């Protein structure tokens, strides 16, 4: 009963002391200064101020798992377990003689516990005292662990059982202080760990935020590039469309110009055609009338041209027409106009030229044709032309009248033997086929 009642009282004392130490750590320090375990207490108080330094200064020694399970079994204070533990412990000690300090410490504790449970508290204390020599070899951090700290509790119980309450009180106090130190150290570790986790989480979140911001930036850049690309593409399409439009417009203008030109010229000889002849003729008459200038017209028809076609073919006939056109053009002055009236008929408009001069020009042309060598076309006959000449002062002042007068003169020349130039006059005007 004695140990029991002591345990009861001492438990309340220790609980009170523990709570006080939590609430007033300075009181604990003051009390500890007078204690015979001052040195150790100083360390403990120091540890309470900086618990993480004490608990983290060295790496804990490894512990054989079987030793821990034996300790756990013997703590249960079961007679059956105790016998089993004693046997296994002996085996273990026989097999392995090289335990580290921490393992040896726990083995001494197990022995002490066994003796304490067997109420052999003197032997228990003897075993437990062996642990004191090992304390310097074990990291301080490890000594604060509950299984190591239990040595103090068993000490206290054994001393209490032997009636040495002073020792029992001191060891119990030490046990509670160790528990407090362990709790504080663990709490500091936990706080540190939580701080690290929090800082890591913050860092991860910041990184995620930065990554998202970068992603948004990249997306914005891509969107801007796409927009720029779309604008450039649209500009390119516009430029190409405008270029194509201008090319088509230029081609259209060119085609229209060509059509206009083709509408004006004769495709075989490249001379102005009948339509242009009449347009230019009317203009020339107007100018001549307005400016009171001379104007003459000549009308040329190839003699017996049908025979050329019949004897040498239509292609040779075309060649003859082309040659006559060239001879007519080269005989004209730059301001004159020589055109193909149709078939084998040609007309020349000679501005500023009177009747006599026009007849002389026509005569030169007739001679050129008459003296032309046609052997390159295998034409044996000598080709000739008839030319009728008319001038403005002889007729009504319009181009139809002028051309008609030249036509009459040309027919007069035909009627009078061909290869001739006739000028329109009273005689030719009266000519009747």
Ligand X SMILES: Nc1nc2c(ncn2[C@@H]2O[C@H](COP(=O)(O)OP(=O)(O)OP(=O)(O)O)[C@@H](O)[C@H]2O)c(=O)[nH]1
Q: Closest CB to ligand X among 152 and 269?
A: 269
Distance separating alpha carbons of residues 64 and 182, to the nearest angstrom: 22
Specify the pairing of strand 421-423 against strand 385-391: parallel
Letters for 95-114 (x = contact with ligand X by CB under 6 A, - = none) are: --------------------
Q: Closest CB to ligand X among 154 and 299?
A: 299
Cβ contact 408:422 at 8 Å: no
CB 259 to ligand X: min, Å: 22
Cβ contact 116:168 at 8 Å: no
CB 371 to ligand X: min, Å: 19
DSSP state of 349: E
10 Å CB burial of residue 352 (0-12, 13-18, 19+) is middle
CB 343 to ligand X: min, Å: 3
Q: Which of 344, 405, 409, 411 binds ligand X (CB under 6 A)?
A: 344
Q: Closest CB to ligand X among 121 and 319?
A: 319
Q: What angle do CA 319, 322, 324 make, to 5 degrees?
A: 110
Q: Closest CB to ligand X among 134 and 379?
A: 379
CB 300 to ligand X: min, Å: 11
Strand partners, 337: 349
Q: Which of 187, 192, 257, 306 binds ligand X (CB under 6 A)?
A: 306
Q: What is the DSSP string of 109-124?
A: HHHHHHHHHTT-HHHH
Q: Interacting stretch for ligand X, rule CB under 6 A, among 174-182, 218-226, 295-303, 397-405?
A: 295-303
Per-residue H/E/C for 218-241: HHHHHHHHHHHHHHHHHHHHHHHH
Helical (H) or strand (E) element with 421: strand 421-423
Q: Interacting stretch for ligand X, rule CB under 6 A, among 142-150, 243-251, 312-320, 366-374?
A: 312-320
Cβ contact 134:105 at 8 Å: yes
Q: Interacting stretch for ligand X, rule CB under 6 A, among 73-81, 188-196, 202-210, 298-306?
A: 298-306
Count of residues binding ligand X (CB under 6 A)?
14
Q: Which of 17, 144, 305, 422 binds ligand X (CB under 6 A)?
A: 305
CB 386 to ligand X: min, Å: 7
Q: Interacting stretch for ligand X, rule CB under 6 A, among 54-62, 130-138, 240-248, 303-311?
A: 303-311
Distance separating alpha carbons of residues 415 and 418, to the nearest angstrom: 7
Distance separating alpha carbons of residues 308 and 319, to the nearest angstrom: 11
Is 318 one of the binding residues for ligand X (CB under 6 A)?
yes
Q: Count Cα neighbours of 30 within 13 Å in the Cβ-side half-sphere.
A: 7
Q: What is the footprint of ligand X within residues 129-158 (CB under 6 A)?
A: none
Q: Which of 185, 281, 317, 328 binds ligand X (CB under 6 A)?
A: 317
Letters for 412-431 (x = contact with ligand X by CB under 6 A, - = none) are: --x-----------------
Q: Closest CB to ligand X among 168 and 383?
A: 383
Distance separating alpha carbons of residues 127 and 133, to the nearest angstrom: 11
Distance separating alpha carbons of residues 328 and 364, to the nearest angstrom: 10
CB 417 to ligand X: min, Å: 11
Q: Residue 121's CB: how many other CB atoms inside 10 A?
A: 23
Q: Interacting stretch for ligand X, rule CB under 6 A, among 17-25, 189-197, 224-232, 310-318?
A: 310-318
Letters for 364-403 (x = contact with ligand X by CB under 6 A, - = none) are: ----------------------------------------
10 Å CB burial of residue 430 (0-12, 13-18, 19+) is exposed
Q: Closest CB to ligand X among 368 and 414?
A: 414
Is 321 one of the binding residues for ligand X (CB under 6 A)?
yes
CB 323 to ligand X: min, Å: 12
How far is the CA of 297 from the CAs of 50, 280, 359, in angstroms? Answer: 133, 12, 9
Is 411 one of the binding residues for ligand X (CB under 6 A)?
no
Centroid of chain to Cα 18: 69
> Which residue is closest to ligand X by CB?
317
- 390 phi/psi in degrees, rounded to 5: -140, 145
Where on the chain is the footprint of ligand X (CB under 6 A)?
301-306, 309, 314, 317-318, 321, 343-344, 414
């Amino acid at each position: 009963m004695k140990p029991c009642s002591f345990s009861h009282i001492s438990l309340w004392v220790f609980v009170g002391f523990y709570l006080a130490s939590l609430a007033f750590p300075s009181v604990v320090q003051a009390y500890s200064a007078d204690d015979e375990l001052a040195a150790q207490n100083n360390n403990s108080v120091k540890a309470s101020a900086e618990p993480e330094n004490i608990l983290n200064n060295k790496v804990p020694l490894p512990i054989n798992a079987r030793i821990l399970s034996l300790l756990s079994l013997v703590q249960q204070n079961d007679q059956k377990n105790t016998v089993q533990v004693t046997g296994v412990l002996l085996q273990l000690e026989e097999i392995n003689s090289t335990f580290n300090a921490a393992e040896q410490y726990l083995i001494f504790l197990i022995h002490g516990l066994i003796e304490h449970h067997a109420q052999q508290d003197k032997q228990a204390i003897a075993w437990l005292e062996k642990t004191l020599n090992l304390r310097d070899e074990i990291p301080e951090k490890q000594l604060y662990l509950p299984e190591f700290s239990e040595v103090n509790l068993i000490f206290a119980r054994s001393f209490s059982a032997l009636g040495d309450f002073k020792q029992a009180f001191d060891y119990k106090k030490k046990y509670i202080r160790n528990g407090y130190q362990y709790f504080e150290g663990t709490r500091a570790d936990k706080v540190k760990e939580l701080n690290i986790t929090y800082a890591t989480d913050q860092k991860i979140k910041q990184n995620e935020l930065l990554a998202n911001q970068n992603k948004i930036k990249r997306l914005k850049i891509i969107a801007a590039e796409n927009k720029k690309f779309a604008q450039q593409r649209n500009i390119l399409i516009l430029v190409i469309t405008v270029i194509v439009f201008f090319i088509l417009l230029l081609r259209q203008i060119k085609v229209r110009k060509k059509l206009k030109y083709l509408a004006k010229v004769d495709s075989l000889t490249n001379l102005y055609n009948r339509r242009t002849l009449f347009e230019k003729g009317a203009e020339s008459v107007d100018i001549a009338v307005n400016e009171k200038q001379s104007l003459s017209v000549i009308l040329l028809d190839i003699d017996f041209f049908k025979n050329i076609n019949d004897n040498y073919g239509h292609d040779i006939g075309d060649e003859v027409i082309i040659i006559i056109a060239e001879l007519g053009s080269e005989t004209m002055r730059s301001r004159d106009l020589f055109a193909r009236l149709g078939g084998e008929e040609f007309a020349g408009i000679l501005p500023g030229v009177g009747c006599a001069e026009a007849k002389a020009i026509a005569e030169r042309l007739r001679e050129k044709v008459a003296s032309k060598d046609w052997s390159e076309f295998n034409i044996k006959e000598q080709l000739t032309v008839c030319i009728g000449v008319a001038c403005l002062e002889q007729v009504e002042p319009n181009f139809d009248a002028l051309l008609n007068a030249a036509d009459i003169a040309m027919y007069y020349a035909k009627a009078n033997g061909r290869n001739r130039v006739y000028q329109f006059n009273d005689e030719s005007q009266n000519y009747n086929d």
